[in-house]
Amino acid sequence: MSATTWMTHRVKRLATGAAKPRAAAVQSPLLTPAQIGSLGVLLVAAQLPQAVHLPIWVALFGVALVVLRFVLLRRDRARPSATPARIPSWALAVFALAIAFAIRKSYGYFVGRDPCVAFLFVLVGIKFLEVRTLRDGTLLVCLAIFLLITPFFYSQSLLAALAALPAVLAAGAAMESLAHDDPSTSPSSWRAAWRRTAAMLAQGLPIAAALFVLFPRLASPLWGLPADRAAATGLSERMAPGSISELALNDAVAFRVDFDHTPPPPRARYWRGPVLALFNGREWRSLTPALFSVPRRHTSRRRRWLEPFVGSP
């Protein structure tokens, strides 16, 4: 065997040996039904506190996706010899894109706090439908923990903290479940996981209380969210009351009028604004473009210039 041939075989063996550990590292262990169940409990516990801040169709849809995975899991348990029910990843991607467009249509915008939280609410349900491996489960726990924080964007009361407590316990139980190869070896394993998580929370309460008392109060928060889209008073062709998160008074000029003759007295200077008569269940719209007129008893020739409306509908 020549030196060149020996070197070629040696390089091939080294390449083959290096590829095996890499391929083994890419493969992630499959989740057991008990682990998938613990993830589903975590998602439901994280979704419920946020559901009250979302449109009804978004809340029902997100929870329905989690329930659908439980139905598929029960089907797989009832027929172990059948092929596990799976939804293609490309179909879930198209589905997520359609949901994004629906949320954009419902809120009127997409880049903002409320629509992004609604999209995350549905996205965790879509991810739960395709979770198969330990890596997917770990990613889903991270998404659920982030979803658990979102109710505090709207309220930081004691009631909100109590509503988040079950999800915190479920998160600890889910992470412990993912750390074991087979968490279903004992019928009471999930109860033990919840008890251990509650014990760790109780142990951390004195530290949290000490930090609350001793940590210095800052004049401004360490981080903040960009201001969400706010509605302003003014003239518009449509109005969606459900999408108004903050109503701000707007003192900008709506329009200007120039009379050719003596203007009517101030008490008679009345212009009719737009009439919103069409309602589609979500927003009000006007039948015709906004009309501005003065009372007939003070008819006179005038010219008007509409100023651009700077507020949100």
Res 241 pLDDT > 60: yes
Same domain, 73 and 190: yes
Identify the weakest region by mean pLDDT among 51-60, 117-126, 214-223.
214-223
Asked if the model's pLDDT at residue 6 lies above 70, the reply is: no
Q: Are residues 117 and 240 in the same domain?
A: no
Residue 299, in any domain of the structure: yes
190 and 57 inside one domain: yes
Residue 224 in any domain: the answer is: no
Is 21 a member of any domain?
no
What's the rounded mean pLDDT across residues 215-241? 65
Let me know how long the chain is.
313
Least confident of 58-67, 175-184, 244-253, 298-307: 298-307
At 283 the pLDDT is: 78
Residue 312's pLDDT is 43
pLDDT tens sequence across 175-212: 988 887 554 454 456 778 888 888 988 998 899 888 88
Last residue of a domain, one of 186, 214, 242: 214
Range of the domain at 245: 231-306
Residue 225 counted as domain residue:
no
Of 214, 242, 266, the last residue of a domain is 214
Q: Does residue 69 have a pLDDT over 70?
A: yes
Q: How many domains does the chain contain in total? A: 2
- Indicate the pLDDT class of residue 48, thresholds 50, 70 and 90: very high
Q: How confident is the model at residue 215 (pLDDT cuts 50, 70, 90)?
A: confident
Whether residue 178 is found in the same domain as residue 244: no
The pLDDT of residue 235 is 61
pLDDT recorded at residue 45: 94
Task: Report H helices in the chain.
Answer: 3-26, 33-51, 56-78, 89-107, 113-130, 134-149, 158-178, 189-214
209 and 280 both lie in a single domain: no
pLDDT of residue 77: 77
Per-residue pLDDT at 22 exceeds 60: no
CA separation (Å) from 71 to 135, 145, 237? 22, 24, 45
**pTM (predicted TM-score):** 0.62
Cα 52 to chain centroid, rounded:
13
Give domain status of residue 12, yes or no. no
What are phi and psi for residue 6, nearest 5 degrees?
Answer: -65, -40
Q: What proportion of the chain, given as a percentage, has pLDDT over 70? A: 66
pLDDT score of 144: 94
Nearest to 306 by CA among 263, 259, 252: 252
pLDDT band per the 50, 70, 90 thresholds, residue 117: very high
